[in-house]
Amino acid sequence: MAQSKSRKPKGAPKEQKACGLCGKRTKLVRTECCGQWICDDEDNYVLFSYAQTSCYRNHRRYTLCGSHFAEGHEGHWQTCGLCREDSRPEMYVWYGTNDFNFEKLKNPPAFEPTRCDGCGNAFSLVAGGYSEGPSGLLCPACAEKRFPHLKGQ
């Protein structure tokens, strides 16, 4: 008698695909960077809304995995020296450890708080609203003072 190909036994649970970030099971695609199942939802993103409601966009834009792939770096993002050099330490840690990752950076490096070149106060780059230019890095308050015409944009 010929040997049959292996099959799942009757009654075995069927493997179901799910987004590795939110758990949804419909409209899925694999990421280009790491081949994980994720919501195929980037088409829902509203341009310039800065909403973080798209699993696909969040992983592609806000993780070391996504940027490592987009930049064409070699090897694994977890050990990539270029990824580490290309980001400020605070952002490197955030990109490697935020909830948009399938796998988080183990043992992220410690870093000094980011300080404003205007007032000297510490502020978070992750929170946004800062300015970077010829005046250096300016916290949101100093950026608003320096560029009042941009308030509300």
Note whether 66 and 93 are same-domain residues. Answer: yes
Note whether 47 and 82 are same-domain residues. Answer: yes
**Over residues 61-80, mean pLDDT:** 97
Q: Is the pLDDT of residue 3 over 70?
A: no
State which H helix or E strand residue 67 sits in.
helix 64-70
Note whether 74 and 122 are same-domain residues. Answer: no
**How many separate domains does the chain show?**
2
In this prediction, residue 6 has a pLDDT band, given cuts at 50, 70 and 90, of very low
Please write the tens of the pLDDT for every residue from 136-147. 999 999 999 988
Contacts 24+ apart (CB under 8 A), 36-40: 36/102
Closest by CA position to 135, among listed 118, 113, 114: 118
**Residue 16 identity (one-letter amino acid):** Q
46 occurs within a structural domain? yes
Note whether 39 and 83 are same-domain residues. Answer: yes
Range of the domain at 138: 114-150
Please write the tens of the pLDDT for every residue from 116-133. 999 999 999 999 889 999
**Residues 6+ away with beta carbon under 8 Å from 53:** 41, 44, 45
Note whether 76 and 135 are same-domain residues. Answer: no
Note whether 68 and 125 are same-domain residues. Answer: no
**Over residues 22-45, mean pLDDT:** 95
Which region holds residue 131: left if phi is over 0, alpha if psi is between -120 and 50, else beta? Answer: beta
In this prediction, residue 106 has a pLDDT band, given cuts at 50, 70 and 90, of very high
**Over residues 88-108, mean pLDDT:** 97
